[in-house]
Structure 1
Amino acid sequence: MSIMALNTDDSDATPDAEFETLRIDRTDSVARVVLDRPDDLNTITPTLLDELSAAIDDLDADNDVRCLLLTGAGDRAFSAGADLSALAADGMTGPDGVELARHGQQTFGKLEACDTPVVAAIDGFCLGGGMELATAADLRIATDGSMFGQPEHDLGLLPGWGGTQRLPNLIGESRAKEIIFTGGRYAASEMADYGFLARVVEGDEFETVAMEHAEQLAAGPPLAQKYTKRAMRAGRDDTDAGLEIEAHAFGQLLDTEDFSEGVNAFSNDEEPEFTGE
């Protein structure tokens, strides 16, 4: 069952712009971004990259959206990667490939860098470019039957949408090399052991747990989340730069209404209601 089956009451969900390859709807402060090519295992085309980039811009700029929940339509795949048949039919040349790689890198980089927390909810195949897309999210959960892999070496290629950079940052260089060099398939339980997945759930729990994760992040302090993401990203290449952002952000957050709300809620043993102010 697709995650889109959740909260389908039209009074609760607000549809966003219509796309050819994506479905987007919002329930309260969670925006669900669904790769919508189920007959093709939600494989990624240049059009999908264009539409995903536009959707990220729109949703990240909307203060009412407090979390993005990224998933794939159907129950067979989150995404099986790039649509290789379409690429082959286009007669792509080397220079074309460079531009396609940059296109995917920029789109996935935009997802990673957006201020809004992103949860990737994975059910089924998560391979190649699909795994690179999931790697750009902040958190990943998956059903216990999901399968992962970077099979590009089997095609004489390499992960070209950020996989050679983000995967080592996430799980360590040795594990990343194992996954990329072998081109093998990895079970969800293995990817959880590697630190790639935050949680593995049974299929009948998937929709509920995915939304619970998204709602939990959506209820968090938006300003603190934004600065945490920025500090972590800056610190990957330069620890001192990350620490400087962290220090300045800490000071700025002391002057926010969210900080006052958090302290008051803690003192009164209540749940805080953060507004991002």
Structure 2
Amino acid sequence: MERLLALLPPRPDRTDGESERAASLHDSCRTARRAFLARHSDSVYDALTTGRTLRPRLADLAAEAAVRFPGLVPDAAQLAEERARIQAHKEGREIDQGLFFGALLGSPAVGTHLIESMLRPASGSASLLEEFRRTDRLELPAVLLERRGEAAHVTFRNGHCLNAEDNQLIADMETAVDIVLLDDRIRVGILRGGPVTHPRYAGRRIFSAGINLKELRSGAISFVDFLLGRELGYINKMARGLLCDVPTEGSATSISKPWVGVVDAFAIGGGMQLLLVLDRVIAEDGAFLSLPAADEGIVPGLGNLRLTRLTGARVARQIILSGRRIHTGDPEARLLIDEVHPAAAVDEAIECAVRDLASPAVAANRAMLTLAEEPLDLLRAYLAEFAVIQAYRIYSPDVLAKTERHWARSERASA
């Protein structure tokens, strides 16, 4: 396929016939990859993890697969070439990564091992933990972490884009969540958006505007590190706890802590998805929540899995399929928000939440609630489908067209 693709012009320069030829080549190869993985996904994973004795993270696993099984997933050179292009001009090689991870997660034994591997602390978290213990403060490029008594305050610092999510924020959030869970002085995590610089909201706190669509348009949103990695990484750690090896016993233990979300102004897209795994949600009066999946065209993470159990099927469909916003004054808001306060009273509400949730029994019981509400096998099965569907969606014509329109509007507004 690569030899035949190389005979064609780059994607933006292809005629309709050449585009159809490229699509046919990709489809043929993906059919073969699907067939291979349907029969050999367990053996492939065992070869990559030395019989499941190693626990590589998603990116490392995909990189090793490209070396050990050439043609199964894109290699480093192909990914580097893709990263240099805007989303609409890429070949869509991340789709092959989606097929790969979808097959691994579709296997009960392999998928469970992979999920548990991603619940381990990320590399670098341990060294930063020591720094945090000395200063009670850690400044990462997109996140600020501070300890105040028994609480750790995790603050988004992507103020230039309304605290929207990008690759850097996802990486920093996983580091911050690891440290909160590893630091035995901390009993409760607080998640809040910092002040932003957008002219309309300058100086105000914003929880999150969701995925950074300008970054998606420019090709800077990673499928593995962001779209799949956030679900298996820091969000799943917030929901299920952190798995750490116990040296004396050679086994693993789970560290789970309660989390509080504080919604100033709005929680859109990925911001709202975060609220679905938190133990208490406090909102500023007048704030709203939304999952604009129908508008953006992509799957809203695990929102489809988690929202229905909180709101019921009808409201969940209104939110996800029709883009309905839930405002703090709506009757349905009580299904998603625990407390609504005037802006001046939010800080006091946070302190009360910390006192309520700091008991060790809270951590134990929240872990049992997660086990009952979202069994690991249910999560695994959803992620197996999500990995494939989301990979295709980020290269679908409607999503590419929408990101281009959003980018053009942003360029006009800033001109």
Q: TM-score range by the shorter chain?
A: 0.7 to 0.9
Q: 1:235 aligns with which of 368, 372, 388?
A: 372
1:157-195 alpha-carbon deviations (Å, 9 max, x no partner): 2212x1111211222222211111111222112276441
Residue number in structure 1 paired with 2:310: 170
- The answer on 1:113 being equivalent to 2:240 is yes
Output aligned runs, 1:87-166, within 5 Å.
Answer: 87-90=216-219, 97=223, 100-106=226-232, 107-114=234-241, 115-160=256-301, 162-166=302-306
C-alpha RMSD of matched pairs (Å): 2.0
C-alpha spacing 1:180/1:78, structure 2 compared with 1 (3 Å): same
User: Any idea what SS the aligned residue of 1:189 has?
Assistant: coil
Contiguous gaps of at least 5 residues in structure 1: 1-12, 239-277
> Would you say the 8 A contact 1:175–1:194 is kept in 2?
no
- The answer on 1:15 being equivalent to 2:136 is yes
* Percent identity (aligned): 26
User: Any idea what SS the aligned residue of 1:33 has?
Assistant: strand
Aligned residues: 219
> Would you say the 8 A contact 1:14–1:27 is kept in 2?
no
> Would you say the 8 A contact 1:82–1:129 is kept in 2?
yes
Amino acid at match of 2:230: G
Over alpha carbons, which structure has the higher Rg?
2
Cα distance in 2 for partners of 1:208, 1:125 equals: 20
C-alpha spacing 1:191/1:213, structure 2 compared with 1 (3 Å): farther
Output aligned runs, 1:28-47, within 5 Å.
Answer: 28-47=149-168
Displacement of 1:89 after TM fit?
0.8
Displacement of 1:234 after TM fit?
1.4
> Would you say the 8 A contact 1:191–1:197 is kept in 2?
no
> Would you say the 8 A contact 2:152–2:188 is kept in 1?
yes
- The answer on 1:80 being equivalent to 2:217 is no
C-alpha spacing 1:91/1:27, structure 2 compared with 1 (3 Å): closer
56-65 vs 207-216, which deviates more? 207-216
Displacement of 1:141 after TM fit?
0.8
User: Any idea what SS the aligned residue of 2:207 has?
Assistant: strand
C-alpha spacing 1:196/1:60, structure 2 compared with 1 (3 Å): same
Cα distance in 1 for partners of 2:192, 2:324 equals: 22
Cα distance in 1 for partners of 2:212, 2:320 equals: 19
Amino acid at match of 2:370: R
1:235-266 alpha-carbon deviations (Å, 9 max, x no partner): 1256xxxxxxxxxxxxxxxxxxxxxxxxxxxx
Cα distance in 2 for partners of 1:208, 1:71 equals: 14
> Would you say the 8 A contact 2:327–2:333 is kept in 1?
no
Output aligned runs, 1:230-269, within 5 Å.
Answer: 230-237=367-374
C-alpha spacing 1:108/1:77, structure 2 compared with 1 (3 Å): same
Contiguous gaps of at least 5 residues in structure 2: 1-133, 196-203, 242-255, 376-415
- Return the TM-score normalized by structure 1: 0.73
> Would you say the 8 A contact 2:283–2:339 is kept in 1?
yes
Cα distance in 1 for partners of 2:220, 2:262 equals: 33
Displacement of 1:97 after TM fit?
3.6
Output aligned runs, 1:215-226, within 5 Å.
Answer: 215-218=355-358, 220=359, 222=360, 224-226=361-363
> Would you say the 8 A contact 1:171–1:194 is kept in 2?
no
Cα distance in 2 for partners of 1:197, 1:234 equals: 22
Residue number in structure 2 paired with 1:6: none
Would you tell me which structure has more helix in proportion to its own residues?
2
Cα distance in 2 for partners of 1:133, 1:63 equals: 23
C-alpha spacing 1:167/1:30, structure 2 compared with 1 (3 Å): same
User: Any idea what SS the aligned residue of 2:365 has?
Assistant: helix
Displacement of 1:82 after TM fit?
0.8
1:140-164 alpha-carbon deviations (Å, 9 max, x no partner): 010111111011211222212x111
Cα distance in 2 for partners of 1:235, 1:186 equals: 26
